Each structure stands twice: as structure tokens, then as C-alpha cells.
Structure 1
Amino acid sequence: MPVDHVAIALLIGSFAGLLVLRVPVALALVLSTIIEASYLGIPLTIVGQRMVAGLDVFALLAIPFFILGGEIMSAGGISNRLIALASIFVGWLRGGLGMINVGASTFFGALSGSSVADVSAIGSVTIPMMKQKGYDTDYAVGLTISGAAQAVMIPPSHNLVIYSMAAGGVSVGALFTAGIVPGLLLGAALMVLAYAIAVRRGYPAERTVTLAEVPRIVGEGLLALFMPVIILGGILSGIFTATESAAVGCVYAFVLTFFVYRDIPLSKILPILQRTFRTLGVVLFIIAAASAFGYFLAYLQVPTLITDWLLQVSDSKFVVLLLINILLLALGAVMDMAPLILIMTPILLPVTSALGMDPVQFGIMLLLNLSIGLITPPVGNVLFVGCAIGGISIEKMTRSLGLFLLPMIVVLLLITFVPSLSLALPGALGQ
């Protein structure tokens, strides 16, 4: 079929125009596909069929369990236990509270898989603590929101499940294990930054945890961290599928929160379920809408055109991958993560595959790019939540954001050009 440039311009232009008019992303995707179908003379029932087909994927059943498990753990007062656990390792250093913040975000990311949940749970505790102890507000908020970006890479992340589906069934187990080293590397880079700033600004160290306190703190913290061990261990051992392990992890989170920790009464399960269903409704609608939009992109041969164009721009793999990163960073600043995963994966995966990049490595690179978008304006959901907690304006926080973006960009480049950072662990585990 010859390339219809007018149809391509209409599809992409109508979608961009609707976004400019502040139409919600999912609705903009649906409306632009309806406009495109009408122009091409394709029955509108095809749009509905493609939306339903986008949800008819078994792996998506894992998403509600991951979201529910994360909501339960977020509501269960676990953030204080994880902060205490992190304080054992880094609290005694100068500016230790900042490093505790990052460490707790690392731990919590392994439970929630959500950067927004991470900054809400950890930030609501650490940001007021840091302000009270003399830390600058922009530093406290910047460190919190950048630390929360780890959650989308460290398993169990439902965004990795979405990528697996968009990439045509890439192993969820391989993606989960691939995200561990990059996630920890990002956390380590932010801790180095936190220490360097603390030394320069004279931030204090925290009280050293006594030996008598260690067993209780470690015991309570490790009980929570056993949830991702169940999920990842079940998948890697072959005992569970990704969906089954998510369900088992959800049951574990329920028992631990309501019957072991008992920080909240069982009556709180109803608002937790309500929040879960709201989040799930948004996620599934976006997946369905993006599936229909992606169908028309494929029908118009957009992925093939972009692949050919990018490969003609330069013979250098380095240059092409750098351009892809710049494109994803720009898009991440103006669109939400889930629709971008679903739209850009079928477009860019053929390009990176042609360059010899493993789909698992590309998935981690993609998610880190888009997680950076979560903390950059104008559509940085994590940035907005952090600023609300810290009581700082978006404009003021944006001026200080470059300092925290620097280590994230460095880690992004390492993940892009050093495949072993993403692939060594899955390879060692036979994924």
C-alpha cells in the first residue's frame, strides 16, 4: 500500500491538537482514531474492536494485582519502617536524611511499582522531616521526586508489564530482573549527589542506630521487602506466572498490612479498593485507546517510515540512540507514561532491534526516559505531588531541577550504551 502522508498528518496532527486543547490523553487517542477512520472510510466498529482486542491479553491480569498490592502497602504505614531500615545503612553519614530518603524510595519502589505512590508515601514523611532539620525545601523535594523514579524500573512495576505487551510478549521475568541493576544504580547515583550537596551545604548527620534497635528494624523492614521476593522468585523459579505471582504478592501485602503490622483497621480496605479501581480504570482505558491508535499507526506504516528515516540520519549507532533518547525525553515531558509506552514501543523497537539492541535493554531504557518525564514540567505528575507536599511552587522547583536530572541522565546514557547493566542479571538467571 502506498504511503498516505495526508492520513498520517491527520492522525498525528489531530492527536496533538487535542492535547493542546487539554483533552485527556486517552480521549484524545480515541477521538483521533475516529477522525482517521472516518477519513479513510474504515467502519468505526473497527476502532471499538481494536480497543477490546488491546485488553484481551492475559498478561494484563497482573496489573490490577500489582496496583492493589501497592495501594495496600502504601496505606499500611510501611514508609516509616522502610525509612528506619534505610537509616541503618546511611543515616550516620553527613546529610544522612537525604540518603535515607533515597534508600527508602528504593525499598518502597520494590513494593509499589509506582513513582506517584512512592513520592506520596515516602515524601509525606521525609520532606517535612528534612525541612524541620534545616534542609532546603527545593533540595528535599528534588531528591524525593528523583528517587521515586526508581519505582518504574525496580520490580514489580506494572509499566514493565505494559511494555511486555506492547513489545509483543517480551518476558516479564527478564524485564523484572533487568530493571534491578539500573534501578539500584540510579539510587546509588542520587545518594552520591545527596552526600556531595550535604557536605557543601553543611547538612547534619542523623542519630546512629544502636545495635539493640537493629533486629527489630531489620525484621519489620524485611517482612515488607519479602513481597517483591515472592513475586520475582515465583516468576524466575517457574512456580508462578507473572499474573499468579502478582495475586500471591497481593495476598501477602493484605495479610502483612492488616494482620501483622495492624497500623490501619480492616475497614480501610474499602477506600483502598476504590483508589485501585480508579487507577485501574484509567490505565485500562489508556491501554484500549492506545491499542486502537497503534493499529492505525501500523496501518499507515508509520513505524516502518520512522525506522527508515532514523537509520538514514546517521550510520552511527551512538547518534541514532542519542536521538531516540532526546525524542523520548521530550515526549515524556508532555505525555503520561502508559500511553507513551504503548505508542512508542511499536515505533522505536524496530529501530533499536535493527541497531542490535536487545528488546529487554530497550524496555529499561524506555522506562528510565519516561520516568524522567514524570519529574519534568509541564506534565510531571510526580513533580506536582512532590511540590504539593513540600509547599513549593512548580516554577521555583523547576529552577533547581537540573541538579537532580544530571545523575539520572548519566545513568540513562550508561544503560543505553552498556548493555550488560540491563542484560547481565537476566542472562545469569537464564531469562
Structure 2
Amino acid sequence: MGLAILLGLFALLTFVGVPVAFALGMAAISAFFYEGLPLMIGFQRIVAGTSTFSLLAIPFFIFAGELMLHGGIAARLIRLASSAVGWMRGGLGQVNVFSSMLFGGISGSAVADVSALGSLLIPVMKEKGYDDAYAVNVTVTSSIAGIMIPPSHNMILYVVAAGGGMSVASLFMAGIVPGILMCVLLGCVARWMAIRNNYPTEPFAGLKVIFIAFLASFPGLITAIIVVGGALSGVFTVTESGAIGAIYAVLITALVYRSLTLRDFWVAVIRSVRTTGMVMILVGCASAFGYMLALYEVPKVLAAGLTAISDNPIIIFLMMNLILLLLGMIMDMAALILICTPIFLPVAVSLGMDPIQFGIMLMMNLGLGLCTPPVGGCLFVGCAIGEVPIQRAVKSIWPFYLAILSALILVTFVPAISMTLPNWISG
């Protein structure tokens, strides 16, 4: 009965529109009350959930991404991508994917990717004769690179949810190859659709223009190198890397590019504080919710249920992917990371999957959920920017879904894709 209260109340509150963080907290406290446990323990779990040192890196990563968004980095990365791949048939589609890969490695946020690059690229693509639904779809789906390619604050959430027993830097490295693979497949789909629809081409800019664009964008690209390289080399902790990355972002956008105004800085501060507050409330409430799930032995029961259906790891991994994809369509990504990790990670590890590989599989699954209705944050933002009804965008987005699903299958069943770089770094 207690488990029914926990899950049923959470589902009901979510259905009626209560924010996920509050739905988690209210469901957990109700279960505490039903079981006769001291409510003080519940509130202690909420506080303890936000007291992890690794979480300090999240506000720094978010702030650095906001500074890059408002400080002109995105425009310079688009110029670099346009000069490098814009000459292909439907070149602006390739520019969109390539820019997401570059900007995602700096901002670490899929929604920031859609907001920054979509605002610049979608109107230009429509003006050049591209179908508006195509422009929105390529922008939305390629934004998942912000989750996969480091730094990514969602990966930090995963490490915390997994109990903190793995290296954040190793997880960062594990996301690079899968993120690039996914972008390559999306680029192939974008090119195929461009040829099929006879979208326009742009003249080749020349190596000199590419080199100049690279020099202009290089100071911004250094941000990702500082964050990831500092953590890998051991010079900084991940939290210190995030702080130094934020300071560097301020210096580059304000003093080198001179495109960060005082108003832009204030907007970046406000949005960073708001996002950090949302994440921390979610982490705390999910900690109390996870405590009750562990008390009711939900991970153990789910593991027994999956293995009762089949003892074939391939079948079980496919079922896990399907469950995560369905959950990603109806719930927020950060909440799912905190809820699903303690449930599915032990099952995956018992079947021989490395926790780092599972983390990358989880990121890609839930990232796809950001692009799918009915609760796809990136899809909503992209459609709003492109002024395209969600129904019309979804009708033509399926080839991009297939590209991401292909990358997901490869990441799930070919460990070398995600594990080669972290294993090489660790020796």
C-alpha cells in the first residue's frame, strides 16, 4: 500500500500539472507519513541529497553556458561551421549539426543549444528556401549533442545518482565518441533529405576563410578544453574546472570578444540562478523519493521481473531502452536520471555492462525524450522559434529519430564506442 501511495500520488500530481520536483517531494513525504517514519528523516534526506560536493560544479557549468549563449560565442561557431561544411547540398543543415556539436561541447545543455543556434539558424534556413519543419527538426535533434559531448551537468547528476563511485572526467570522455557518432548520423540524414528536396547549395568559402573563422572561434572552444582537460589531468577537480571555465567565459566574452554587455551578464546570472535552484530542489526531493523506493526494494523487484521475462542480456537491454524512451517522452530528464539510475544501474551491472557505458546509454535515451512529444522541451523551444506547429514538425522528424536510435543501439551493444577513450585515459 505504501508503494502504491508513493507511485500513485506522484503520477497523479504529475498528471495534473504539479512541477516534477514538488510531486516527488510530496509523494515521498506522504509515504513517510503512511509508514509511520519520522518526517524529520524525510526532510533530512532532502537536505542530504543537495549536500554532495560534486553538485557544486552544476551552477558553474550552467553559468558558463549562459555566458557563452549571451556573449557571442554561438555566432562565431556558426560562422566556422558554415565556412567548413556550408558548401554541401543543403549545407545549412550540415552547418546546424556541426554547430550543435561545437556549441554542445561548451554549453553542456540541449535546451541552450536549441535556444542559441535555433534563434540564429532557423530564420536563415527559412529565408534560404528550406522547409521550416526541416529547419526545426535538424536543430532540435542535433541539440542532444549538448548532453553527450562534455561538459554536461546531466552527467554530474548521473554520477551523484549512482552513488558517486565513478569518475566524472571518465564519464565526460565516454560521451565524446557517441556524441560525434550521433552527429555524423544526423548529418547523413540531413544531407539525404536535402538532396531529396533539392535544397540550395552555397559556394565554397575557401581555406583562408575557414582558418580566419577558426581563429575567431578558438578562444570560445578553449572553454571545453579547460573544463575537461583540467579535470582529466588532475590539475583541477570537476567543480574547480567549472568555476575556472565560468571565469574564463566572462573574460573572453567581455574582454576579448567585447560582446557581453552588463545587461547580458545580468540575464545570464538570473537564468543560471533560476536553473540551479530548479535542479537542486529536484535533486533533494528525488533523494527522498529514492530512499522510499529503496525501502520498498523496487530495484530488486524490477530486476527480478526483468530477469523473469528473459535471461538474455540483449532482450533485457532492449527492454530497458524501451522503458527509458517511453519515460523520457513524459517526464523531465533530470528527474528521470535521479529516479531511474538507482533502479536500472544494478540490473545493467549484473548483466556485465560498465556503469560508465550505462550512463552514456541513459543520456542518449533521455536526450531523445527532449525531442519527442508530449513533454519534449527542445521540441517545444524549436517549434516556438521556427513558428511551426508541433504536429507538423513531428510528421517529418522520424528520419532523425532513426539516426539517434541507430546510435543508441550501437552504444548499447558495442561497449568500445563509449569505453575506449576513458579506458585509454585511465591506462
TM beyond 0.5:
yes
Question: Aligned partners of 1:7, 1:211: CA distance in 2, in Å?
Answer: 66
Alpha-carbon distance, 1:18 to partner? 1.0
2:67 aligned to which of 59, 69, 72: 72
Give the counterpart of 1:388 among 378, 384, 398. 384
Q: 1:18 & 1:32 partners in 2: Cα distance?
A: 9
* Whole-angstrom CA distance in 2 between matches of 1:245 and 1:186: 26
Deviation at residue 275 of structure 1 after TM alignment: 0.7
Change in 2 beyond 3 A, CA 1:211/1:421: closer
How far residue 266 of structure 1 moved from its aligned partner, in angstroms, is 3.2
Q: Structure 1 residue 95 and structure 2 residue 90: aligned?
A: yes
Deviation of residue 211 (structure 1)?
Answer: 3.5
Aligned counterpart for 1:427 among listed residues 411, 415, 423 = 423
| 3-state secondary structure, aligned to 1:212 | helix
Question: Which amino acid in 2 is paired with 1:82?
Answer: L
Aligned to 1:128: 123
Does the 8 Å contact 1:258/1:266 carry over to 2? no
> What's the counterpart of residue 3 of structure 1?
none
Q: CA deviation at 1:268?
A: 2.6
Cα distance between partner residues in 2 of 1:214 and 1:281: 40
Do structure 1's residue 403 and structure 2's residue 376 form an aligned pair? no
Q: Partner of 1:377 in structure 2?
A: 373
Unaligned runs of 5+ in 1: 1-5
2:249 counterpart of 1:258: no
> Contact 2:325–2:369 at 8 Å: present in 1 too?
yes
Is 1:317 the equivalent of 2:313? Answer: yes
1:148-188: per-residue Cα shift (whole Å, max 9, x none)? 01111110100000001111112101100000000000110
Does the alignment pair 1:286 with 2:300? Answer: no
Give the CA deviation at 1:117: 0.3
User: What does 1:225-244 align with in structure 2 at a 5 Å threshold?
Assistant: 225-244=221-240
The two structures, once aligned, show a CA RMSD in angstroms of 1.0
- Mapped to 2, the partners of 1:110 and 1:211 lie a distance apart of 24
Structure 2 counterpart of 1:140: 135
Equivalent-residue separation in structure 1 for 2:391 and 2:410 (angstroms): 30
- Distance (whole Å) between structure 2 residues aligned to residue 213 and residue 180 of structure 1: 27
CA contact (8 A) 2:105 2:224 kept: yes
How much has 1:401 moved relative to structure 2?
A: 2.3
State how far apart, in whole Å, the 2-side matches of 1:266 and 1:233 are.
30
Could you say which residue in structure 1 is the equivalent of 2:13? 18
Q: CA deviation at 1:206?
A: 1.7
Question: Aligned residue for 1:33?
Answer: 28
- Please tell me whether the aligned partners of residues 33 and 47 of structure 1 are also in contact (alpha carbons under 8 angstroms): yes
Query: How far 1:210 moved relative to its partner?
Result: 2.9
For 2:268 and 2:123, the matched residues in 1 are separated by 25
Q: Is 1:245 matched with 2:241? A: yes
Whole-angstrom CA distance in 1 between matches of 2:300 and 2:79: 51
In the alignment, which residue of structure 2 is the partner of 1:204? 200
Q: Write the deviation string for residues 9-52 of structure 1: whole angstroms up to 9, x where unpaired.
A: 22111111111111110110011011111110111111110000
Q: 1:60 aligns with which of 52, 55, 62?
A: 55
The 2-side partners of 1:215 and 1:103 are apart by 16
What residue identity is the alignment partner of 1:189? Answer: L
Q: CA deviation at 1:341?
A: 0.3
| Structure 1: distance between partners of 2:73 and 2:201 | 23
Where structure 2 has 5 or more consecutive residues not aligned to the other structure, the ranges are none
Structure 2 residue aligned with 1:342: 338
Deviation at 1:86?
Answer: 1.0
Q: Which one of 136, 151, 155 corresponds to residue 156 of structure 1?
A: 151
Distance 1:217 1:256 in 2: 16
Contact 1:78 1:224 in 2 (8 A): yes
Which of residues 3, 15, 36 is equivalent to 1:8? 3
Per-residue deviation, residues 69-91 of structure 1 (Å, max 9, x unmatched) = 00000001222211111123211
Compute the displacement of 1:267 (Å): 4.1
Question: CA deviation digits over 1:291-345, x for unaligned, max 9?
Answer: 0100000111111111111122101111000000000000000000111000000
* Structure 2 equivalent of residue 44 of structure 1: 39
Give the TM-score normalised by the residue count of structure 1: 0.97
Letter in 1 for 2:146: A
Note if contact 1:135-1:203 (Cα within 8 Å) is conserved in structure 2: yes
Determine whether 1:295 maps to 2:277: no
Match of 1:418 in 2: 414
Q: Distance in 1 between matches of 2:212 and 2:39?
A: 60
Indicate the SS of the match to 2:202.
coil
Contact between 1:62 and 1:247, CA under 8 Å: does it hold in 2?
A: yes
Alpha carbons of 1:55 and 1:86: their partners in 2 closer, same or farther (altered >3 Å)?
Answer: same
Question: Runs of at least 4 residues of structure 1 off by over 4 A?
Answer: none
Partner Cα distance (2:299, 2:209) in 1? 57
SS at match of 1:213: helix
Provide the C-alpha distance between the structure 1 equivalents of 2:403 and 2:8, rounded to a whole number of angstroms.
Answer: 35
- Does the Cα contact within 8 Å between 2:84 and 2:210 map onto a contact in 1? no
User: Aligned residue for 1:167?
Assistant: 162
Counterpart Cα distance in 2 of 1:291 and 1:244:
25
Residue in 2 aligned with 1:304?
A: 300
Contact 2:71 2:259 in 1 (8 A): yes
> Residue deviations 1:216-269, cap 9 Å, x none?
211111211111111111111111110011111111111111111112323431
Aligned length: 426
